[in-house]
Each structure stands twice: as C-alpha cells, then as structure tokens.
Amino acid sequence: MVNVTRSLAEFVVNTKAGDVPDNVVHEAKRSLLHWIGCAIGGSHERSVDCAVAAIKPFCGPPQASALGRSERLDVLHAAFINGVSTDILSFSDTHPETLIHPTGVIGPVLFALAETKRTSGRDLLHALILGFEVASRVSLAIYPWHYNRGWHITGTAGAFGAAAAAGKLLGLDETRLTCALGIAATEAAGLRGMFGSMCKSFHSGRAAENGLLAAFLAREGFTSVEDGIGGPRCFAHVLGESPDLDRVSRDLGESYEITRNTYKAFPCGVVIHPVIDACLRLRQAPGFSVSAIDAVKIRANPLVIELTGRKAPMTTLEGKLSVYHCAAAALIAGRLGEQECKPEIITRADIVALRSKVRVQVDQAIREDEAYVTLCMPDGRKLREHVEHAIGTAERPMSDAEIETKFKGLCEPYLPPATIQRLIDRCWGITDVADAGSLARLGSAG
C-alpha cells in the first residue's frame, strides 16, 4: 500500500523550480494575478469587516498585509483574512475536474509568509504550483462522492495545498511535511450547507490558516500519523468513500494540474456564463439596439432554470443567481461585473423592463457551458448567437489580456491605477522579483 501522504511530501520537498515546464509557470502567473484581483475585489465586503473586527483584539504582531485594506495582521490572521476576501465574490479560480478553488487558499499563505521571511518570486511561484498540485490531487481521489456528500472541497482539501506550499517555503523535510499534511487532514472542514451565508468564504480563509498552522506546528516537531490522507480512519476514508488513492501519486511531477485551471469571466452562477457571453457578442451584431429589443429568447441547459431561475431579484446575491437579470444587464451595460450586480442596478427601471422580455427554454441536449440566444427585433429580424463553450471554460480559456481586464475591474475601487499596473507587471515578471513580499505590500491599501 502506497503512503500517499509521504509521496506528496517527497514530491514537494524534492522538486526544484527549474524542473517545471514553461507552460506550467505561465499558468501559475495567471493564477497568481487572478487571485490577487479576487482578494482585493472582495476585501471590503461586510464579511471581511466582521472577521477583522472579531480577530483584532487577539491579533499578534503586524507582520503581513490584508490585501486591499489598511490593516496589518499577524501572519496566521493575515492568511485567514485574505482567504476570506478571496472567495466572497465567488470569483475564484476553479480546478474543473473537482470544483476546488486552490489558489484562494494557497495564495494567502504564500503572501503572508513572503512578508515575514524574504522569499524570491521564483520560489513563491514554485510553491504555488506545488500547493496547487497537492490540493487538486487529493481532491481527485475523493471527488465526486466528497462533494455530493455535502463537503465544500475548497475548505477541506484546500488546506493540503496551503500546508504543502507553506512547508516548501519553510524548508520542511519530508518527515515534517508528512506531519504537516497529516495535521491539515485532521483540521479539514467546511459544509456546502453554508452556501448563501458568510461561512462560504470563511472556508477558504480558515483552510489557508489551517494549512499554515499545520506547517508551523510540524516545523516544531508536532507529530501526526504516517499517512494522514490515505491511512485507516484518515482523511480520504472518512471524508471520502472508496477513494481513488492512485490519483494522488500517479504521474506526480509529469503532469501539472494547474495547467487545467480555469477563471470565471463573470461573478455569477457558472451556468449563466454562456448566456452572458452570447448577450455580449450580440451587442456587436449589425442592427443591434437595446431599446428596440422585443424579446430575448434563450435556449439553455435545464440547470439554468433550476439554479438561476429567479425572476425578480433584489439583492446582489439574488442578481447573480438570476439568468433574467444577467442577460438584461449584459445587453444594456455591455459587461457583467460586480458593478452590474449592485442592488441599484438590479432594480433600475431599464434593466427591469428588459429582464421582463427574457424567455428561457430548457433543453437537455444543450451542455452546461453552451447556450443559444436570439434577440427578436420589432421589424421581425432575429439576431442569433450560439455559444459552444462559454468564455472561461477549459475549451475557451480567458486570454492573458482578459484576465488583466478582470483584475483591473476588481482592483479599481480600492487601489490607484498606477499601483494596479505595477501589480500586473510584477506578476508577469514574478520569476525575476527578488522580494515577493513587495507584491503583498503593493496590494495593501495601507
């Protein structure tokens, strides 16, 4: 029986930055830039204010930045808060085969450490690649049973990525990293039943902190068992059912899961993405005029109505889960970002009027990332668009420029344009940055 925990520890300890192919490094840069944007974009939501207020009286020395904010927190709490910020807008990157959002858990740990221990950009990026690998491989072993049972896989398996990345930067040996992964295994938590409450983004924050704490404990000699992931009554058997442990260690170091990473183009339910994508394209069609639309006819996968069939949304969260609102807002605004999901936009007269003209027909033969949208114009003309694969899927990944645009949109409310541009430049050039902690400081609004 292979000890999968030790296999992962060996891989993380022994892999060198130079071993990683260029395409993997490039995807890691995209993941890093995208994550920083998500963390800054969510940094002023009420959940973060509450969490900061709760921990402030017990915080340690001001060691690390809260992205997008002015507070400096101790390293564990900084990882926690940045993890909470990341996931609030439901905009995190996604490993499509398991639905885990790895970078939102790993990034906060890397930034917190880089501010307390001088770390090169190359090492930081390499630790992200390794942490991503560990989190997604553990996830592959237990998906889909784990997710279907009700576990929020980012909260549970995410901590392995955080522990692995932290262990790499702290220079843990194989035995200590094995213990760190075991400690992370026994901290794993996060329920899908919490979706819709602040606890959803709590999961990524706590997973970051859990993984980092596990690495710190293991560094001091705190022990776990030999195989905390695959051993009897350990993680994969208790939070999984008949886990496929071979997925954890097969081809380790030969293929990299981060190359499969995806980024959400829009801050709303993923099943609406092809609809929004089609609406945005239709704006380019000859003869398009918002004011002239008689009807918006959508044909889409049945999940669109099941998950996002809300006809009269009022709040931001409801707007993000309404295909009617998202289609109307995309057609009117020409984009669909956080701004288009604010309550004042959701209830604006022109948006409400157009959304009442949206009709949805579901069809089991249409895939989840596919949609047909037809605009019926008063002269009888029909403008049609068929999106085969929505932007942001593995088949049609966001370009580097599109990730930059998303990044800017997320950061603009909180950072000056020059700082935003410097962050973008330093992410693309991260492997030449001598002090990766400088990115964390740039990303703070302190």
Please, what is the minimum distance in Å from the beta carbon of residue 194 to a second copy? 5
- Footprint of a second copy (CB under 8 A): 46-47, 50-51, 53-55, 57-61, 63, 74-77, 149-152, 155, 182-183, 185-194, 196-199, 202-203, 206, 213, 216-217, 219-225, 228, 231-235, 237-238
User: Smaller CB distance to a second copy: residue 197 or 289?
Assistant: 197
* Distance of closest approach, residue 321 Cβ to a second copy, in angstroms: 16
Q: Which is nearer to a second copy, 101 or 273 (CB)?
A: 101
Closest approach of a second copy to the CB of residue 189, in Å: 4
Instruction: Output the smallest distance, CB 52 to a second copy, in A.
Output: 9
| Residue nearer to a second copy on the CB measure, 185 or 439 | 185
CB of 239 to a second copy, least distance (A): 9
Q: What is the dihedral of CA 195, 199, 205, 208, to 10 degrees?
A: -70
d(CA 81, CA 343): 25
Query: In the structure, how many helices (H) and strands (E) does the chain have?
Result: 22, 6
Question: Nearest approach, Cβ of 36 to a second copy (angstroms)?
Answer: 23
CB-wise, 105 or 433, nearer to a second copy? Answer: 105
Report the relative pairing of strands 295-300 and 358-362 from DSSP bridges.
parallel
Which C-beta is closer to a second copy: that of 17 or that of 225?
225
Closest contact distance (angstroms) between CB of 200 and a second copy is: 9
CB of 257 closer than 8 Å to CB of 95:
yes
- Strands 371-376 and 295-300, by their bridges, are antiparallel
In degrees and rounded to multiples of 5, residue 371 shows phi and psi of -160, 155
Separation of alpha carbons 72 and 60, rounded Å: 10
Pairing mode, strands 295-300 and 72-73? unpaired
Q: Between 31 and 316, name the residue whose CB sits nearer to a second copy.
A: 316
Smallest gap from Cβ 372 to a second copy, in A, equals 33
- Shorter beta-carbon distance to a second copy: residue 16 or 58: 58
Tokens 């380790």 belong to which residue?
252
CB nearer to a second copy: pick between 121 and 228: 228
Q: How far apart, in Å, are the Cα atoms of 29 and each of 40, 119, 137?
A: 17, 16, 20
List the structure tokens of 211.
Answer: 């993984």
Complex with a second copy: residue 51 or 427, whichever CB lies closer: 51
What Cα–Cα distance (Å) separates residue 359 from each residue in 90, 284, 308, 372? 26, 21, 13, 12
CA atoms within 13 A on the CB side of 54: 10
Query: Which of 217, 110, 112, 220 shows the shortest CA–CA distance to 165?
Result: 110
Which CB atom, from 52 or from 329, has the smaller least distance to a second copy?
A: 52
Q: Taking the complex as a whole, how short is the minimal distance between the CB of residue 74 and a second copy, in angstroms?
A: 4
The span from the CA of 128 to the CA of 174, in Å, is 18
As a whole number of angstroms, the distance between CA 193 and CA 400 comes to 35
User: Euclidean distance between the first and final Cα of the chain, in Å?
Assistant: 51
Quick one: which H or E segment has residue 124?
Answer: helix 121-142
Question: In whole angstroms, how close is the CB of 211 to a second copy at the nearest point?
Answer: 13
* String of DSSP letters for 288-310: --GGG--EEEEEE-THHHHHHB-
* Residue 33: Cβ within 10 Å count: 22
Closest CB 27 distance from a second copy, rounded Å = 31
In whole angstroms, what is the distance from residue 433 CA to residue 428 CA? 10
Closer by beta carbon to a second copy, 5 or else 103: 5
